[in-house]
Amino acid sequence: MTQFIDSRTSQNASFANSISIPITVINTPQLFGQIGLLTAGTGTNPRVVFSGTISVQVPLALVGLTVTIVRGTVPTDPVVYSATSTFSLSVLAPQIINFTATDFNPPITPQLTYTAFVSSNLLGTVRVGPESFNGQLYSD
pLDDT greater than 90 at residue 137: yes
pLDDT tens for residues 106-136?
A: 999 999 999 999 999 989 899 999 999 999 9
Residue 76: DSSP 8-state: T
Do residues 130 and 51 make contact, with C-beta atoms less than 8 angstroms apart?
no
- The CA distances from residue 12 to 53, 129, 139, in Å, are 10, 8, 28
pLDDT greater than 80 at residue 1: yes
pTM, entire model: 0.94
pLDDT tens for residues 13-47?
A: 999 999 999 999 999 999 999 999 999 999 999 99
pLDDT greater than 80 at residue 138: yes
pLDDT of 30: 97
